[in-house]
Amino acid sequence: MSVSNQKSVIIIVKGVVQGVGFRPFVYNLAIKHHLNGTVSNTGEGVIIELEGFPDAITQCVTQLQKHPPTLSRIDSFTLEEQERKHFSTFEIVESFSTSKTTSISPDTAVCEGCLEEMRDPHNRRYGYYLINCTHCGPRYSIIKTLPYDRASTSMDVFTMCPQCQAEYNDPTNRRFHAQPISCYACGPVLTLSDHEGKRIIHANSVMEKAAELLQNGSILAIKGLGGFHLMCDATNETAVATLRLRKKRPKKPLAVMFANVSHLKRYAHINEEESHFLTSKESPIVLLNKSSNTTLAPSISPDINTIGAMLAYTPLHHLLFDYITSPLVATSANRSGEPILRHAQEVWERLGDVIDYSVDFNRDIVNTVDDSIIQVIQNRHITLRLGRGYAPLTLVRNDYIPLKIVAVGGQQKNTIALAFEDKMILSPHIGDLHTIESMEYFVRSIESFSRFYDFKPDVIVCDKHPSYATTQWAKTQGIRLIEVQHHYAHALACMAEFGLKEEVLAFCFDGTGYGDDGTLWGGEVFRANTTRYERLGHIKPFRLLGGEKAVKEPKRVALALLFEVYTLDEIRTLNLPFLTCFKPDELTLHYMAWKKGLNAPLCSSMGRLFDAVASFCDILHQDGYEGEGGRRLEELYVPDWDMCFEYTIENGVIDLSTMIKEIVILGQLGKYNRIATSFITMLVAIIEDFSNNYPHLPIVLSGGVFQNKTLLDRCVTRLEAKGCSVYFQQRTPINDGGIALGQLYYGC
């Protein structure tokens, strides 16, 4: 065939296409199809020029689109013919700067290829604790700015040895342009330190010694991809209890790391879908049911039958399990409510009274990122925390966004989100913004994402709550400001994930959020689209005795609900266990505060309602962690029981007075399983009742209450059986971690 029949095309690929082996993949594909040209990184993505016979170009392009590199994600792919440049070879050319819009690749678990090399005594990286390639390892956690080149990462201070350099420069090698490439000769050094600063420097001995210390009951801070973990033997009750005592974390469940799926199956039940997520490149924490004969320490997750399980996901973790057979607690190294720590010095300064030893390596973590947490439901999943493996998360729109917008999220489970051109980007989990350290992390995250994309916002979107730290920060920036109601943002977050723009029927159930009427909302039913909402229904408001204290003390919420139905004298005659938590004069004081509305704001919170029912069931009077009431009630739920509390809905107001009376009767008889079962069944019935009035509207379920697996499962089953279109967030957090995305969707 004549050379004159050849043609030239230019292709622009956008998405997660840097740091994932995309250029060498294109190079080898072009060589295979005898094509000439170039491939290069830019701030926007990857630019490919191909010259050759049309059939070869078509075959190359088809394979590139259908079977791209494993870690990549193609968001847009444009191809245009151009004048021939008469390339004589195909080359990978240096990155060049354009506008920065390409998506940043999240960190991923070590791949099988690297693990095989790490286990091979004849390989030069045998036992190497930071082995990685273009298919795995750190990405977001080490990047300073785009494009993703070694000079823009925390590996810039390490000069490659000749062997690593040769691999890095070879387009046919698995480590071609693997920016964190290193080995024993040229990479970071692994150290183990104690309180006295004594270090074990020899890399091969560190993990063996660390395992010995863990087996002996010590607590270690061990560096991961996005920060340090606090680790101890998960089968040693003394060690776990000591960690809880030192960290001042009395009840919140602790995540547990296992060597592999076979190891995990000895301690928990796992289905095929859960196994899929655990062994994926993202390797999140997955909530599982414990085995009945588990030998895990009881205080791993007290009073509930679930654990947060993850598999070893870094080479260092895998090496650790070479020397220890027990599963390991692997909880974030931080003080309660503060961000995960990324430097060993910080760990010793902040947690020196918690840990006995630390394991560190001198590759800096530029961007901290917590482990992701998911829960599988009906072969789908919900995201409880967006972090390592999944974040930053980029959602691509079909339309162009003319402004640069930043959304700053809520007060708890904070994330931030950016919008520009055709992208919406959601950050990893930042946390609760109740401390100076957390706010510093929040500001640092905004600065980091602004640096990644040369981003200067035209608009800031925030919550309406005047006391939220994010709202107060937004109001000081001197930039156009848009405020979005909290629960409307929940609905919008779900709509954003699925690209919904039509009107929906949204059930937004959570703790509390600032309502349009100045009260605290939390059990809301909206008719909503992307520009407005109508409050169709809500829980009849009740008082939070003591304001914020009621959030921590569910007994106060239960008492307030009794005040709605009974006189004080009648309440004194009731034989309900939670009432013994109050002295007689306390009951009188609380009643007067309730009657006069003194430090007792009105709320319609579904989350607080769960807490109250848990207190009625005598399982939770003092909250140990957010959402504990819902988790504890799930333990009491009996799936086969057909029972439901009575309720009324008038003008959209859901009145639960009858339910309170029924709970009192059952509570005095100790029928707690019936209370929990009837309560959850009632909520499903309420949702179904509203949906019957709007059969043409798709249904959105969002807010932290829908983290309750039993409630969400029953709702989806009932509604889909009726032919309803039901949406709940999967890739983005269903709790307040999704608020920023909802705010952003409104701002766009």
Which residues face 286 on adjacent strands? 309, 374
Which residues face 220 on adjacent strands? 231, 357
Q: For the chain (length 748 residues), average pLDDT per consecutive 10?
A: 78 85 88 92 85 93 90 88 91 70 86 97 97 95 88 95 96 91 96 84 83 97 97 98 94 97 97 97 97 94 96 98 97 88 93 95 96 95 97 92 96 96 95 93 95 93 97 97 98 97 97 95 98 98 96 96 97 96 95 96 97 97 90 94 96 98 98 98 98 97 97 97 97 98 95
The predicted structure's pLDDT at residue 104:
86
What kind and span of H or E run contains 113?
Answer: helix 112-119
Q: At what angle do helices 672-693 and 628-636 cross, to 10 degrees?
A: 110
CB 233 within 8 A of CB 215: yes
The predicted structure's pLDDT at residue 2:
57
The predicted structure's pLDDT at residue 51:
93
Q: Give one DSSP letter per residue of 23-79, joined into a string.
A: HHHHHHHHHHTT-EEEEEE-SSSEEEEEEE-HHHHHHHHHHHHHS--TT-EEEEEEE
636 torsion bin: left (phi>0), alpha (psi -120 to 50), beta (else): alpha
Tell me the domains of the chain and their CATH numbers.
3-92 (3.30.70.100), 190-361 (3.90.870.10), 392-484 (3.30.420.360), 538-686 (1.10.357.160)
Read off φ and ψ for residue 329, nearest 5 degrees.
-60, 135
Give the integer Cα–Cα distance in Å for 288 and 305.
8
The pTM of this model reads 0.92
- Of 523, 241, 199, 481, nearest to 348 by C-alpha is 199
CA 411 to chain centre: 16
Specify the amino acid at residue 148: Y
Task: Quote the DSSP letter at residue 153.
Answer: B
Read off φ and ψ for residue 655, nearest 5 degrees.
-95, 120
